[in-house]
Amino acid sequence: MFDPKLNGRVVMQKIVECVPNFSEGRDKGLIKKIIDEIEAVQGVQLLDFDPGESTNRTVVTFIGEPEAAKEAAYRAVQKAADLIDMSKHHGEHARMGATDVVPFVPVAGVTMEDCAEMARAVGKRIGEELGIPVYLYEHAAATPERQNLAKVRAGEYEGLAQKLSDPAWKPDFGPAEFNPKTGATCVGAREFLIAYNINLNTMDRRYATDIAYELRERGRWKRVGDITPFYYKGKVVYFEDDKFTCGMCDRTGKTFAELAEHYNEAHGGDLYAGYKFIGLDVENLTGRPVYKDGKFRQVKAVGWVMEDYKTAQISMNLTNYKISPPHLVLEEARRQAQERGIVVTGTEIVGVVPFDTMRMAGEFYLKRMHKSTGIPARDIIETAVQSMGLRDVAEFDVDQKVIGVPKQVGPLVHQKVVDFVDEVSRDTPAPGGGSIAALAGALGAALASMVANLSVGKGEFDAQYDKLCDLAEQAQKVKDE
């Protein structure tokens, strides 16, 4: 995945994650054959596969450079089409095809539009070469109506024949014909999903749930009365005839429209969209609980107890870390916990996390403690790991857990300086003046970074903190390039 001709520089890889879901979770031999197809593609790394007995479904996660990821995804779909017969499939999870979904996820060096183009290219190939109906979804969708996967998959496999006969549901690629063996496949592009858990110094699930409901986008039922410090102990507020109560304040309206107008003016949101997101009909709210907003968008959260760790956890899926990054969710959780007399002992990332997430977190905590952000990438990551307590219940190996970390590449990178000097002295033209100049330049930039970073720690330069950080960051870039 690297260019061996480079003599020594930091390279940000182009990395894409792909998470195909296959409609087979019981036949381990069959699953292995699909995974073997993925691993046979050079430049692809298998991260995980999770077969489910009750769902009869396997979720596979792999990463690679864009071209390799596209090829591996196609081969996996092809193999699944050969091996899986959807006419005999039964399972608890919603599905419509042998390969149900194929999402591409930007990790490093690629954009969401890049992933959307990948989805279109792979979807086109699946449709044309394998004859499987393909629907594009989320960021790859051709129309807004097809962005929502649940809407695209509505009716599932059993309703697919009828869906394909409807001109409004003509596939984006492939034939508008029902293939009982393969079904249809959804190919899309979405943001990276981070599975993130926050550990508490208690085994009481109610306490974890109380905080989880404050954090999640869905929010919670509004309560009154005994809500401090534990909100769940209060009395639930319900909508009444001619009395529509605001979830965020004490304001009431005689109609939902009146309440929605107040909500927009006072709290800056669309109440119609909010209740639609929750799944409630605004024309039939009497007797239903009033909802209070959650604090973070793109966050799903519940409270549970992990017996293995002897702790209650706030278990979350962060579906867009660019909107709600883990470190900001954690800081709010710490504040909520402190109000309740609870201590956050640490956190856990299940699976892997993009480098960009850890970089943002590390820089946040460095700035908060008034330390320079112009330090090596791995130092920034380590700051994030320690600040977020990521080694509280399990080991956190940066090389295994963080993907897309900038890496030094090239044959000279790992040589000792004394060995490099010896190599220069030999009767060979390379390494020569260019490599020597590069080393001298890198050392000079490192020295500049050191001076800026030492200055950050001196009181007389406090007013120049931002400028010094910027200088140190620029020096780090020169050093690495």
Residues belonging to the active site: 93
Taking the mean position of all CA atoms in its chain, how far away is CA 102? 16
Task: Compute the chain's Rg from CA coordinates.
Answer: 26
10 Å Cβ neighbour count for 429? 7
Helix (H, G, I), strand (E, B) or coil at 342: coil
Nearest to 14 by CA among 105, 104, 110: 110
Which residues pair with residue 291 across a beta bridge?
A: 221
10 Å Cβ neighbour count for 205? 16
What sign results for the dihedral spanned by CA atoms 263, 264, 267, 269?
positive
Nearest to 456 by CA among 475, 439, 442, 440: 475
Q: Give the tokens for residue 6.
A: 């480079």
Nearest to 124 by CA among 185, 82, 83: 185
Which residues pair with residue 5 across a beta bridge?
A: none
DSSP string, 207-254: HHHHHHHHHSTT-EE-EESS-SS-GGGSEEPB-BTTBEE-SSSS-EES
The identity of residue 433, as a single letter, is G
| Residue 182 and residue 98 in contact, taking contact as beta carbons nearer than 8 Å | yes
The packing angle between helices 355-368 and 326-339, to 10°, is 50
The identity of residue 129, as a single letter, is E
Strands (DSSP E) contained in 94-155 are 99-108, 134-138
Helix (H, G, I), strand (E, B) or coil at 396: coil
Q: Give the span between the Cα atoms of 453 and 373, in whole angstroms.
A: 9
Q: Give the span between the Cα atoms of 368 and 362, in whole angstroms.
A: 10
Residue located via tokens 């699946």: 126
Helix (H, G, I), strand (E, B) or coil at 64: strand
Residue located via tokens 């031999």: 29
